[in-house]
Amino acid sequence: MLTLVVALIFFGILIMVHELGHFLAGRLVGIHAEEFSIGMGPKLFGFSRKGTQFSVRALPIGGYVKFLGEDEKSDDPRAFNNASLWKRMAVIVSGPAMNILLAVVLLTVFYMSYGIYEVVPEILEVVEDSPADRAGLMPGDRIIQVDGVSVEGLQAQEAVEAIRNAIRQKGGNELEIVVRRDGENISVKLVPEYSEQSDSYVIGIVFGRIRRYGLMPSIGLAFNQAGRIMFLMVDMLRALIFRGQGLNEVMGPVGIVGEIGKAVQAGMQQLLSLAVIITLNLGIINLIPFPALDGGRLALLLIEGVRGKPLEPEKEGFIHFIGFVVLILLMVLVTYQDIMR
């Protein structure tokens, strides 16, 4: 029950942010919204403000903003069909853009609250009565060589991985480590011990630490990480569409609710990470040039710009209707796949 409640709130926030992007952009450029809805189907409750009906509907499978003159011609100067091309494009793009912005905000909160686990080739901590402790290794020692293999000059992550691999491969046999301490190279010999907790041989040193960031550095990291995730998503999407790769891994509503349930059990940190992935997915998928999606509407506006005149509202509405039917069928297929898993 808790998973279902969290999932409804989760989806509600993501949908509301997306539709809020369309709504606010419309307000900004002077296009009137007749309705702002969270959910589909029968209306549960709502209220009216400044000529716009705000409503919550029974089916939590999406949402919409209905603009005046969006699907039919209107003589009202505030109508969507009477706005300039760039204004209409701005309204369409603003939904996905808000999802991407939400991801940046969530990542910023993540870096400020939880930080990043960083590794350095310098020993940060020595476990008491461990092989490293008995051999005389100390916090602040910088490992430069393991069993004759130099790790000096490597990037921090690479150096630490090389050190860990060397320790694991040595097993329970004697190991020589050279560290630099106060400008002097010191060589020590020790025997790694097996750890049931990590299921590997260890010597009792800690390289990693959690580093939390301030507001401005977190914002910079958030934009960078959001960009990297989106690049990977676009690459995966391209492989899915053109080569069919990852088709069996596509997840629908049932699968996502399952992942939300796991994240709820794991804690807020995991839930925040999942929210970032889903909101970026929502933003990117909506930009696909497919009818009924924001990308499809944007593509038709680009065609209008090339032709110099818009499509007839009836034809455009029919195109989006066909696209909507296909999307519903795809959702049913993916949901079936989720259940069969």
DSSP 153-173: TS-HHHHHHHHHHHHHHHTTS
Which candidate, 88, 97, 101, places its Cα nearest to that of 299?
Answer: 88
* Burial of residue 59, with CB atoms counted within 10 A of its CB: 0-12 exposed, 13-18 middle, 19 or more buried: exposed
Domain layout of the chain by residue ranges: 2-115+214-340, 117-211
Active site (catalytic) residues: 19
- What digits encode the pLDDT tens for the residues 265-287? 778 888 899 999 999 999 999 99
pTM of the model: 0.81
Which candidate, 69, 89, 90, places its Cα nearest to that of 78?
Answer: 69
Which candidate, 128, 122, 125, 134, places its Cα nearest to that of 205?
Answer: 125
What is the C-alpha separation between 68 and 79, in angstroms, rounded? 5
pLDDT at 246: 62
- What digits encode the pLDDT tens for the residues 197-248? 878 888 888 887 788 999 999 999 999 999 999 999 988 888 877 776 666 6
pLDDT at 254: 67
pLDDT at 207: 81
Which has more pLDDT, 17 or 169? 17
pLDDT at 78: 93
pLDDT at 249: 66
Q: Which residues are 118's β-sheet partners?
A: 209
- What digits encode the pLDDT tens for the residues 152-206? 878 878 888 888 888 888 888 888 999 999 889 999 999 999 888 878 888 888 8
Most confident region among 1-10, 140-149, 224-233 by mean pLDDT: 224-233
pLDDT at 341: 61
Question: What topology is assigned to 117-211 in CATH?
Answer: Pdz3 Domain (2.30.42)
